Structure 1
């Protein structure tokens, strides 16, 4: 095997790192420092180019909205417990992030797949929703186990409306999401509004991100809250924090039932 074979093994267009050289997607890092924000740099790293005007602000809004949901979220609780075990912030963060899966943290990706399917076939909302609901009683991106109406929904959708008016995005994913919401709320006695996963899926779809990156971007955003909670926990001096205060013991169920 030649040196070139080894070099080609790790061939990448994401970054160029050589002695005295650091380039991100072909742009010298020294040109980005001080002139390019973190969100625009995230876009650059994922898409290979800087975002068009207005797009970074919309992406930033989605990232800000998903930063934290308190210790009610398993990922946050796990990070806080892990932080009391003497393993360091990186391990506490990794523990919380590793809890983000299909059920906790995956709804944005699933919702964007749902929206993409509707956008690809205009007028298909009822059929697509019926197929999804035949597989699961949960429709990703709609309803919330904690909030009657998710307080993050309205400001995010307002920003998308404004971006459509400004010509920054086309509005197809927004229309698809609202068509689902309208369909769900025509059923008597039920009000199922879009939640944070639905609203951010709209933004990621409007900005052209594929569904797997919707999950990746959510994890990136939630990592901020995970870090903040883990750091706060380390400042409180508690050791080996469990899921319940020591005064509360789990219910014991005997083998006899």
Structure 2
């Protein structure tokens, strides 16, 4: 008896490629956008028109954000190994962690867990009450709130209101986005400063409201950033800055005695504990 292996995605034969129950060449190519296909492959259903608009906007929002560490890693890897575009792409993708890109997943997980712990919610005041509880708890424990704050867009991330608008128009402005929006409304009462919801956090909440489990959401951020990385790598090939970056750091490197570094680190730790 021949052993078989189950899949709901794709198979191929001598003269046919089947994907998601469709004939790739005649039913998908030229008929389905790449964004819609990415949605379909994970959700195992086609997005509605509104969901498609929101999902593709999320991919655009996460595609590129300038000279981030992940981009620099990709460019410098290409500088070191110009024959290995896959190495440069991989270097950039591997940097998708808790500070860059991974915030999409972290925010979705944080919101999902908070909602699960809270139980049933209805009115805006309920969301705001929960948001205050969450923020006070994070403050008392010294924890950051995923999706809140941005190192550049301190007055507001321009991507966030667009995600809110498209989600509302698609009819998928659900519990995750509602709680995130409430967190932004009440955060000044807790922290005494303005911390806007960043685009990555809004994207994570929107993806959760689209029905994707939090554990898969970072994957969409990586799919989106792959396009940005490819653009950055193409620019590095056309107009390289890798050697310039390397030279700038190398020529400005300053040796310090290890004891000086250890003393400085110990002092910073003490000051942090006392603050």
1:69 aligns with 2:76: no
Matches of 1:48 and 1:13, distance apart in 2: 8
Aligned to 2:167: 160
Distance 1:103 1:19, change over 3 A: same
SS of alignment partner, residue 87 of structure 1: coil
Matches of 1:132 and 1:29, distance apart in 2: 48
The one of 55, 59, 66 aligned to 1:59: 55
Aligned to 2:89: 93
The one of 196, 200, 206 aligned to 1:197: 200
The one of 233, 238, 244 aligned to 1:235: 238
1:28 aligns with 2:47: no
Matches of 1:52 and 1:237, distance apart in 2: 42
Decide whether the 8 Å contact of 2:147 with 2:197 is kept in 1: yes
TM-fit CA distance, 1:112: 0.7
Decide whether the 8 Å contact of 2:36 with 2:47 is kept in 1: yes
Q: Which moved more, 1:84-93 or 1:213-222?
A: 84-93
1:151 aligns with 2:158: yes
Aligned to 1:126: 132
TM-fit CA distance, 1:142: 0.6
Structure 1 unaligned blocks of 5 or more: none
TM-fit CA distance, 1:138: 1.8
Matches of 1:35 and 1:206, distance apart in 2: 26
CA RMSD of aligned residues (A): 2.3
Matches of 2:150 and 2:211, distance apart in 1: 26
1:81 aligns with 2:76: yes
Decide whether the 8 Å contact of 1:84 with 1:234 is kept in 2: no
Distance 1:255 1:186, change over 3 A: closer
SS of alignment partner, residue 23 of structure 1: strand
Q: Which moved more, 1:39-48 or 1:133-142?
A: 133-142
Give the TM-score normalised by the residue count of structure 1. 0.86
TM-fit CA distance, 1:169: 1.6
Decide whether the 8 Å contact of 1:169 with 1:207 is kept in 2: yes
Matches of 1:187 and 1:127, distance apart in 2: 10
Aligned to 1:177: 180
The total of aligned residue pairs comes to 247
Distance 1:183 1:239, change over 3 A: closer
Structure 2 unaligned blocks of 5 or more: 261-275
The one of 123, 141, 152 aligned to 2:147: 141
SS of alignment partner, residue 49 of structure 2: coil
Decide whether the 8 Å contact of 2:177 with 2:209 is kept in 1: yes
Decide whether the 8 Å contact of 2:132 with 2:187 is kept in 1: no
Matches of 2:74 and 2:45, distance apart in 1: 34
Decide whether the 8 Å contact of 1:64 with 1:221 is kept in 2: yes
Distance 1:207 1:238, change over 3 A: closer
